[in-house]
């Protein structure tokens, strides 16, 4: 699918977008899933077809369907939402390849700690007024100071899945 994406400014449509996480816990026996309910973002497509942008997640909006766990996730043991209420990803370079492929490179900031992050994405829908990107990638929570791991229950990487719909900014 090769669809020309219009140059200019694009705004994230939070009602048609989702950022979810999955992490195996309890020594790999249970998969915890969560969704960030408050997501904002914008981007700009340059004349050469490359893009830049920012995505912001409200840490307090993370919902795993377990209030006690959500409170712990927001605590200083993990996301430390009181001191770091947002997770941000700044896309410094987004380049389209063939057949809907997109390569995204940027910087992820969690708990005030920034690390480079690159991952493949796909354009799943595009027209003159809207663009949808989908991606799945992993992050190592320890790289962001999230080392809490009582009894060694939490191992491995966290998988992030995104579906992001952008509409032309007015």
Domain boundaries, the chain: 8-163
pLDDT confidence of residue 152: 47
pLDDT confidence of residue 93: 96
CATH number of 8-163: 2.40.128.110
Read off the pLDDT of residues 32-53 as tens digits, 9 standing for 90 and up: 899 999 999 999 999 998 999 9
Which tokens sit at 24?
Answer: 């195996």
pLDDT confidence of residue 11: 97
* Per-residue pLDDT band at 153 (split at 50, 70, 90): low
pLDDT confidence of residue 1: 44
Read off the pLDDT of residues 91-104 as tens digits, 9 standing for 90 and up: 999 998 888 899 99
* Per-residue pLDDT band at 151 (split at 50, 70, 90): very low
* Per-residue pLDDT band at 144 (split at 50, 70, 90): confident
CA angle 42, 47, 49 (to 5 degrees): 70
- Looking at beta carbons, which pairs linking 3-7 to residues 24 or more positions away fall under 8 Å? 3/123, 3/126, 3/127, 5/45, 5/49, 5/51, 5/96, 5/123, 5/126, 5/131, 6/45, 6/128, 6/168, 7/45, 7/46, 7/47
- Mean of pLDDT over the chain: 88
């Amino acid at each position: 699918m090769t669809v020309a994406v219009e140059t200019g400014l694009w705004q994230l449509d939070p009602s048609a977008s989702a950022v979810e996480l999955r992490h195996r816990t309890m020594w790999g026996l249970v998969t915890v899933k969560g969704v960030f309910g408050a997501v904002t973002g914008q981007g700009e497509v340059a004349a050469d077809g490359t893009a830049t942008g920012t995505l912001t997640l409200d840490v307090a909006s993370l919902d795993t369907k377990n209030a006690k766990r959500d409170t712990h996730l927001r605590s200083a043991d993990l996301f430390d939402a009181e001191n770091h209420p947002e997770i941000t990803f700044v896309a410094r370079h987004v380049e389209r390849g063939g057949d809907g492929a997109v390569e995204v490179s940027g910087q992820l900031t969690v708990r005030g700690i920034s690390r480079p992050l690159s991952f493949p994405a796909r354009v799943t829908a595009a027209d003159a007024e809207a663009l949808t990107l989908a991606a799945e990638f992993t992050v190592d929570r320890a790289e962001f100071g999230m080392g809490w791991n009582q009894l060694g229950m939490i191992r491995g990487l966290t998988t992030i899945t995104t579906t992001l719909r952008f509409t032309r900014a007015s």
